[in-house]
Amino acid sequence: MTDTLVEAPVAGTQKSFEEGRAGVKAYNEMWSAPHAPRPHWDRFVCGMEGVGLTEISRRWEAAARLIRQQGMTYNVYGDPHGMDREWQLDPIPFIIDSAEWKKISEALIQRATLLNHILQDLYGPQKLLREGFFPSALVLGHPNFLRPCAGVPVAGNTYLHVYAADLARSPDGQWWVVNDRTQAPSGMGYALENRMVVLRMLSEMFRDCEVKRLHGFFTVLRETIERQAPHGKENPRVVLLTPGPYNETYYEHVYLARYLGYTLVEGGDLTVRDNRVYLKALGGLQQVDVILRRLDEDFCDPLELRSDSTLGVAGLLQAVAAGHVSVVNPLGSGLIEIPALRAFLSPLCRHLLGEDLKMPSVATWWCGHKQAFDYVRDHLDQLTVRPTFGPERSGPFVHAMLSAPEKAALLERMRFRPHDFTGHEQVAMSLAPTLANGKLEYRPAVVRVFLVARDGGYHVMPGGLTRVAAAGGQGMVSMQHGDVSKDTWVLGGNAAEEIAARAQIASLELRRGGNDLASRVADNLFWLGRYTERCESGVRLLRTVLLQLTDESSLRCSPALERLVAAPYAMGLTSVCPGDLCLAGELERVQADLLESVFATGRPMGLRETFGRVHWIASSLRDRISPDVWRIVNHLEREIFPAAASSAPQPGEGIVLLNSIVTILAAFNGMEMENMVRGMGWRFLDVGRRLERAVFMLNLLRKTVTTAHEDDASLLEALLDVADCSMSYRSRYFGPAHLPGVLDLLLLDEENPRSIAYQFAVILSHLDFLPREQEDHLPSQAKKIVLAGLANMRLADVEALSKPDENHFRSALDQLLDVLVRGLPPFSDNLTLRYFSHSVAARELNSIAVQIQS
């Protein structure tokens, strides 16, 4: 094993920069020479040799499971399979010693301070433009120079509360800044998650290396955010504004919101009234003091910025200008995220701070200047050219590896609008050890380091998010391209420091209740309840039908079996209308269709699709449901369903799958009943579940027992099985099942949690707790529907309901079921209107009054 460890480092899997810089050998992070680890890697290499790569690989399979269970994901744009891509984490950390870290920290503090000064000027007096230190085109021509924000004071005159820099190390060992992230840097949540996983999997090495802890950074972060509250308000309400589940780093938004204790909101959850920002909550509007944004600034206010944005909050800019809310980082701070900035940073540093820039930026040429343009044109093969203002992902990363016609076209575009292009050097990034197929490989690495403003200076996270290129990558490191992340270890941690940091945690104001539940979240919880129950009842019905169809003792074509088989079709669960089962091949056809609806994907009412909705809603509720609940949902979607996939499933396989789904959903329900705080969120979830169960049972009874047949008993047994009530029935009655007993149990018995009356009674009790139901003196329309239904059931006579007329039709039963089932859609609508209506999206109006006589 140790042989593989001391193998001389391979020259790197990245050919591109080897070619680009012939003769220059990339810096190897781990080894100074073959068999000689760099001093700060000593302990780790020693520990790694002790444990062995085979053992680490084994542990990493467990780590992958852990990551899957946590649901750590990353969304990749433009890839149909890119939603919820599993987070890639390499076991070998990126290690930096404490002396080197100190230098890096000082350099980045200087850089953050400098960038903050630059932003202050660009959104203020713009002296830098007039004095020629910064090209005016980069500001005036920047699509995201937010003119409405110019001159608007920001809290503490700080534009950069949070800053991140991407660093790479060149062959001579020097660190370079390759990217600045000034708007809403992503990755600190992933860095923390990486740490949690690595710490749990390489605990002995982590301890031996004395790694600095990350926790303190987040304490500072929280303090800094909360200090931005207008008028120095204590215990301010902070929200984390996310673009939503489609965003590439949505998982991180959920994670950070939970870790920092902030409400996760989308633009539609907020509203501006009286120049104040409010959270639209169930209990009314709740004022928001600080917005930690992960939404690009141009999308933040459709009134004043991009009018096509549906993700923002109309009037936010005015609320900020009025001083009623703070945004972190302030709107406008993305202005200097452009690569072209780097070309001017050195002189700016001397001018503004009176000192030299401590860490150089990767060499960059902004083509708006004639000499720079000429240089880029003449060295196109060695450089990367990018649109000056384009967001990174809109690309194109215009690469040096272009065909001759592409190159000519690029030059043509560059000549037409030179200021729209920026060229920069390709860094020969250092190589970091990565575990691949049981061996170490060395791949180019970029380290993202995070800073947070504090007391006029900056505090650096002792660690960061390291990313290495995927094997065969294009010399570009980006999680969008399927690269792998690493934990970053800064050595020299000690216990005293940690204790000091921990002592600073601020006191907490006790809170109870849940009226700050956003209306959108309540809406989603309601539907989570409905879809999980729809899933469960569908599964139970399909399972019973499948068992009956394939039961050795049952008759092939009894009328009872026919009615039972017809039920899933009538309820939309299957797509083939069963005919006469006595006909040859009919039974097989029905059975095949049944299995199809269990296994197939892409059928609108199929099991997979319904469960897909459960998974989707749960993923947008990640900050509201417990990790355990999420694990259950994720397990079903990611493991049970894929594992059960089969091209020609047998009934037995279907039964196995349905059995395990029943068990898993039971776990979900158990979590809900035992672990959820009885707040508004839980009540809406439960109302959704009860409503769906009532709808299902009402439809099932209507399709099966409103007409009388001689062999009702076997049908009734099956119904008891669907409702999981066979045992209860047996404990009350002997002999074959008879309708009055079954109806009493499934319809009227308020003690039976599967009965329809029980669902109505529980919904009624929830309604009494809902915010507006308490304030109003008269019952709402929704409540009246439930009250009426319950009264109808309480007054019903089970013997009369069971009695068929001369046409074998049970008209009293049919009428009762009909009245009950018809009340439920208006009930749901009424509830939606009352509680979820302010989750409707805002839209844009633009008066176009342009007619003119010529």
Partner 1 sequence: MIYRISHVTEYQYSEPVTLAHHLAHLSPRDTDNQIFRRHRLDVFPSPAVAHDRIDAFGNRGSVFIVQEPHRCLTVKANSEVEVLPVPAFEPLLSPSWEQVRDGLPEDLSQQGLSVYQYIFDTALVKCSRELAEYAASSFPADRPLLDGVMDLSHRIFSDFVFDPAATTVSTPLSEVLASRRGVCQDFAHLEIGCLRSLGLAARYVSGYIETEPLPGQVKLHGCDASHAWVSVYCPGQGWVDFDPTNDQQVSGQHITLAWGRDFGDVSPLRGVILGGGQHSLSVGVTVTQVPQQFDQAGNSNGNGFQQMSAQQQQQ
**Counting contacts by CB under 8 A, is residue 307 touching partner 1?**
yes
Nearer to partner 1, 140 or 582 (CB): 140
Helices 651-675 and 586-599 meet at what angle, rounded to 10? Answer: 40
Selection from 200, 206, 209 nearest residue 59 by Cα? 200
List Cα–Cα distances, 516 to 258, 280, 324, 473, 736, in angstroms: 15, 8, 19, 46, 53
User: Is residue 399 within 8 Å of 337, Cβ to Cβ?
Assistant: no
What is the C-alpha separation between 640 and 719, in angstroms, rounded?
27
**Six-digit token pair at 228?**
């931005």
Q: In the set 46, 51, 303, 605, which binds partner 1 (CB under 8 A)?
A: 303
**Counting contacts by CB under 8 A, is residue 244 touching partner 1?**
no
Q: Which range, of 182-190, 314-322, 498-506, 641-649, touches partner 1 by CB under 8 A?
A: 314-322
Q: Which range, of 70-78, 271-279, 465-473, 784-792, touches partner 1 by CB under 8 A?
A: 271-279
CB of 339 to partner 1, least distance (A): 18
Residue given tokens 């099956």 in the structure block: 718
Nearer to partner 1, 103 or 417 (CB): 417
Nearer to partner 1, 414 or 469 (CB): 414
**Six-digit token pair at 604?**
């609108």
Nearer to partner 1, 510 or 849 (CB): 849
Q: Which of residues 361-380 bind partner 1 (CB under 8 A)?
A: 368
Q: In the set 314, 410, 445, 820, which binds partner 1 (CB under 8 A)?
A: 314
Nearer to partner 1, 136 or 478 (CB): 136
| Residue burial 357-384, b: 16+ Cβ < 10 Å; e: rest | bbbbbbebbbbbbeebbebbbeebeebb
CB of 792 to partner 1, least distance (A): 34
Q: In the set 439, 635, 738, 838, which binds partner 1 (CB under 8 A)?
A: 838
| DSSP, residue by residue, 4-52 | HHTSPPPS-S-HHHHHHTTTPPPPBSSEEETTEE-GGGHHHHHHHHHH-
CB of 225 to partner 1, least distance (A): 26
**Six-digit token pair at 230?**
């207008």
Could you tell me whether strands 465-468 and 439-454 are parallel, antiparallel, or unpaired per DSSP bridges?
antiparallel
Number of residues that bind partner 1 (CB under 8 A): 45
Q: In the set 302, 514, 649, 688, which binds partner 1 (CB under 8 A)?
A: 302
Residue 828, number of CB atoms within 10 A of its CB: 19
Nearer to partner 1, 80 or 132 (CB): 132
**Counting contacts by CB under 8 A, is residue 405 touching partner 1?**
no
CB of 232 to partner 1, least distance (A): 23
**Counting contacts by CB under 8 A, is residue 547 touching partner 1?**
no
**Counting contacts by CB under 8 A, is residue 788 touching partner 1?**
no
Q: In the set 272, 595, 757, 785, which binds partner 1 (CB under 8 A)?
A: 272
User: Is residue 413 within 8 Å of 373, Cβ to Cβ?
Assistant: no
Q: In the set 13, 28, 144, 271, which binds partner 1 (CB under 8 A)?
A: 271
Nearer to partner 1, 410 or 566 (CB): 410
Selection from 124, 188, 128, 139 nearest residue 161 by Cα? 188
**Counting contacts by CB under 8 A, is residue 315 touching partner 1?**
yes
User: Is residue 463 within 8 Å of 489, Cβ to Cβ?
Assistant: yes
What is the C-alpha separation between 4 and 717, in angstroms, rounded?
65
**Counting contacts by CB under 8 A, is residue 304 touching partner 1?**
yes
CB of 389 to partner 1, least distance (A): 9
What is the C-alpha separation between 791 and 786, in angstroms, rounded?
9
Selection from 591, 594, 600 nearest residue 641 by Cα? 600
CB of 21 to partner 1, least distance (A): 34
Nearer to partner 1, 727 or 850 (CB): 850
What is the C-alpha separation between 53 and 202, in angstroms, rounded?
12
**Counting contacts by CB under 8 A, is residue 845 touching partner 1?**
yes
First to last CA, the chain: 86
Helix (H) or strand (E) segment spanning residue 291: strand 290-293
Q: In the set 98, 120, 126, 219, which binds partner 1 (CB under 8 A)?
A: 126
**Six-digit token pair at 78?**
């433009």
SS3 86: strand
**Counting contacts by CB under 8 A, is residue 390 touching partner 1?**
no
Instruction: Write phi, then psi, for 468 (nearest 5 degrees).
Output: -120, 150
**Six-digit token pair at 596?**
């199809």
CB of 405 to partner 1, least distance (A): 16
CB of 741 to partner 1, least distance (A): 50
**Counting contacts by CB under 8 A, is residue 132 touching partner 1?**
yes
What is the C-alpha separation between 823 and 699, in angstroms, rounded?
13
Q: In the set 148, 492, 651, 771, which binds partner 1 (CB under 8 A)?
A: 148
What is the C-alpha separation between 836 and 387, in angstroms, rounded?
43
**Six-digit token pair at 684?**
């809406």
**Six-digit token pair at 408?**
């000519």
Q: Which range, of 70-78, 108-116, 745-753, 836-844, touches partner 1 by CB under 8 A?
A: 836-844
Q: Which of residues 409-428 bind partner 1 (CB under 8 A)?
A: 416-417, 420
Nearer to partner 1, 318 or 707 (CB): 318
Peptide bond into 396 cis (omega under 30): yes
Torsion of CA 127, 132, 135, 136, to 10 degrees: 50
Q: In the set 58, 147, 730, 822, which binds partner 1 (CB under 8 A)?
A: 147
Residues 809-828: x where in contact with partner 1 by CB under 8 A, - otherwise, as a string: --------------------
CB of 845 to partner 1, least distance (A): 4
Binding site for partner 1 (CB under 8 A): 126, 129-132, 136-137, 140-141, 143, 147-148, 150, 271-275, 302-304, 306-307, 314-315, 318, 368, 416-417, 420, 838, 840, 842-854
